[in-house]
A and B are shown apart, each in its own frame.
Chain A
Amino acid sequence: MIPSEHIAVLLILIGTIFSFLSAVGLIRLPDIYTRAHALSKGSTIGVLFTLVGTFFFFVLEGYFSIRLFLGIFFVFLTAPVAGHVIVRAAYRSNVALAKESVQDDLRDVIGVAKENKEQL
């Protein structure tokens, strides 16, 4: 029977492995959009595993921390929003896609909007 503290520490180890894999994606992928795809999901799940493991570790010692619970909630709420806002800013400021990209559906919509604004 594994002691329950070891379960909390194993949750922390799983979370750091997720962060490490998302950092490998951050190095190897060619483009800001593909990197955002790897990094937003990977870092979010990694930090959530780590914080939940820490939370359980201190709950088992008899200390329920409302600040750590608020931190988990806030990171869970804001990390996807930050990833989306960065990618939108990159696309609106004309950062080029990678050479391997085969499809760009937003080019028609946003390009037409920019032309209309220039005509006005």
Chain B
Amino acid sequence: MIQGILICSLVFLSFAIFATIFRLVKGPTAPDRIQALDALGINIISGVAIFSVFIRSTAFFEVILLIGILSFIGTIAFARYIERGVVIERNDSE
């Protein structure tokens, strides 16, 4: 029962990840691809959580936290680079 519901959840999540990869390849502009990468990170977090329930192990929770933090930092850095052409600004006022 529990295994069947979890396999069904993983099938739904696989369709979501395939749609995200489609937008990542096809997206006409760079912000589309950044949006798809952000969604891909969030869906991978869900996949790791479902897998840890599937094998009844508590060893993957650090992985969830780490993927969340790295995906957020990458999204912010890419967005700032597209908006201003620089990630870390320096005040070179003389």
Residues of A within 8 A of B (CB): 5-6, 8-10, 12-13, 15-17, 19-20, 22-24, 26-27, 32, 35-36, 39, 43-44, 46-47, 50-51, 53-54, 57-58, 61, 63, 65, 67-68, 70-71, 74-75, 78-79, 81-83, 85-90, 92-93, 95
Contact = CB atoms under 8 A, between A and B. Distances in A.
Given A13-B9, A16-B9, A67-B61, A89 B53 contact: no
Contacts, number: 160
Nearest to A69: B61
30 contacts: A5-B2, A6-B1, A10-B5, A12-B50, A15-B46, A19-B42, A20-B13, A22-B16, A23-B15, A23-B17, A26-B36, A43-B42, A43-B43, A47-B42, A50-B45, A51-B46, A51-B49, A54-B52, A58-B53, A67-B61, A68-B64, A79-B38, A81-B72, A82-B79, A83-B35, A89-B82, A90-B31, A90-B82, A93-B82, A93-B83
Contacts of A12: 5-6, 9, 49-50, 53
